[in-house]
């Protein structure tokens, strides 16, 4: 006889209680939906087009004036200007390769520099081009310290090479350009020297004052010095680095001279080249997008000082900007978007 009371007939055992839901992990980020993950790359690929479109609407006067002037210009000289513009991208790609010990794929490197040209005219101080190049180098498996060191070497070599080319032109033709009409006064020189000193000293002071930045800064400096010493032991890299950096301003000046010849500018190639080098040395430090604005004004003033009519010098600079910026702007933005979409950048 059982001692347990039976209040009713035996039935099925009661179902077990469901397991409690796991507690959310406070360290986990917000869940990303698959649709958002698919739309994000497309949105990033369209972002350069939107930025360039906004900038084009803001600066539409340049497009209109330049197109009106170029409509009556000599098409063969304009074609020569386009040719020199394309060679400028090749020279820039050579400098990028010369600043890095690792070998990069030539086709993708050239495409990245063509795309970087579109980004360069949106952000000041070449930040857009450097950002595109940095993304490209990281995508090729280059470590961040080495990629950053190559950008620093690129930024350092280009103005040095441009200054050397200017000095060669001045030594070869001392009477071609009267520097006393273009040289800044003492106050401007002091301000420029102070700005350069502050720009060089500020990163070192920040790295010394902020302890978490000391180790990355030392790693960057060590990598930059090691890579620079290694690159200068390779003749091919030296030729690409310094030869491309010296050829870049000459090609840019050739674009201006070709546009000037198409419009009837009464200046020789040597005069236009020297005017461009002098204008870049005077106003190139101003952080404007692609150098637009300060360099243009200095270039117009320098060509006028050499004897060109002011209106014709202005039209030449406008045509130069149309050929080097507005014509490749949309194709460059499309290449930039394609590289982002294909995850090259």
Residues ≥6 apart with Cβ < 8 Å to 203: 217
Which tokens go with 218?
Answer: 């030392």
Residue 159: count other Cβ atoms within 10 Å of its Cβ: 15
The pLDDT value recorded for residue 206 is: 60
Q: Cα(243)–Cα(62) distance, rounded to whole angstroms?
A: 33
The pLDDT value recorded for residue 105 is: 94
Residues ≥6 apart with Cβ < 8 Å to 289: 55, 120, 121, 122, 123, 124, 128
For 198-308, strand residue ranges (E) read none
Q: What is the dihedral of CA 223, 225, 231, 232, to 10 degrees?
A: -170
pLDDT along the chain (345 residues), means of 10: 47 50 47 55 52 58 62 88 95 94 93 86 69 91 91 91 88 64 54 57 60 70 86 94 95 94 90 87 54 72 86 86 86 87 84
Residue 226 · residue 316 · CB < 8 Å: no
The pLDDT value recorded for residue 118 is: 78
**Helix-, strand-, coil-residue percentages of the chain, each rounded to 5:** 75, 0, 25
The pLDDT value recorded for residue 112 is: 92
Please, what sign has the CA dihedral across residues 142, 143, 148, 149? negative
Please compute, for residue 57, the number of CA atoms within 13 A of its CA located in the half-sphere on the CB side: 5
The pLDDT value recorded for residue 35 is: 60
Residue of 141, 125, 135 lying closest to 45 (CA atoms): 135
Q: pTM for the whole thing?
A: 0.73
Residue of 48, 49, 155, 81 lying closest to 321 (CA atoms): 81
């Amino acid at each position: 006889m059982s001692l347990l009371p039976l209040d009713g007939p035996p039935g099925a055992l009661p179902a077990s209680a469901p397991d409690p839901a796991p507690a959310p992990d406070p360290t986990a980020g917000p869940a990303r939906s698959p649709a958002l993950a698919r739309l994000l790359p497309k949105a990033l690929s369209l972002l350069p087009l939107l930025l360039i479109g906004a900038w084009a609407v803001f600066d539409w006067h340049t497009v209109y004036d330049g197109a009106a002037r170029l409509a009556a210009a000599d098409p063969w000289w304009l074609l020569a200007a386009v040719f020199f513009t394309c060679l400028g991208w090749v020279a820039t790609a050579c400098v990028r390769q010369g600043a890095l010990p690792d070998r990069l794929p030539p086709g993708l490197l050239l495409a990245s520099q063509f795309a970087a040209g579109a980004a360069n005219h949106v952000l000041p101080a070449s930040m857009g081009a450097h950002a595109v190049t940095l993304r490209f180098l990281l995508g090729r498996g280059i470590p961040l310290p080495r990629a950053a060191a190559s950008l620093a070497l690129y930024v350092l070599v280009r103005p040095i090479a441009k200054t050397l080319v200017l000095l060669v032109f001045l030594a070869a033709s001392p009477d071609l350009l009267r520097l006393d009409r273009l040289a800044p006064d003492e106050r401007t020189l002091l301000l420029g020297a102070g700005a350069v000193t502050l720009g060089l000293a500020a990163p070192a002071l920040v790295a010394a004052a902020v302890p978490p930045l000391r180790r990355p800064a030392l790693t960057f400096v060590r990598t930059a010095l090691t890579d620079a010493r290694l690159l200068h032991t390779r003749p091919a890299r030296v030729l690409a680095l310094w030869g491309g950096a010296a050829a870049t301003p000459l090609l840019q000046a050739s674009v201006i001279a070709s546009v000037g010849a198409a419009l009837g500018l009464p200046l020789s190639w040597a005069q236009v080249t020297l005017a461009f080098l002098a204008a870049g040395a005077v106003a190139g430090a101003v952080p404007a997008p692609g150098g637009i604005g300060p360099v243009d004004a200095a270039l117009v003033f320098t060509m006028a000082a050499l004897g060109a009519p002011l209106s014709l010098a202005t039209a030449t600079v406008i045509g130069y900007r149309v050929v080097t910026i507005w014509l490749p702007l949309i194709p460059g933005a499309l290449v930039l978007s394609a590289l982002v979409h294909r995850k090259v950048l």
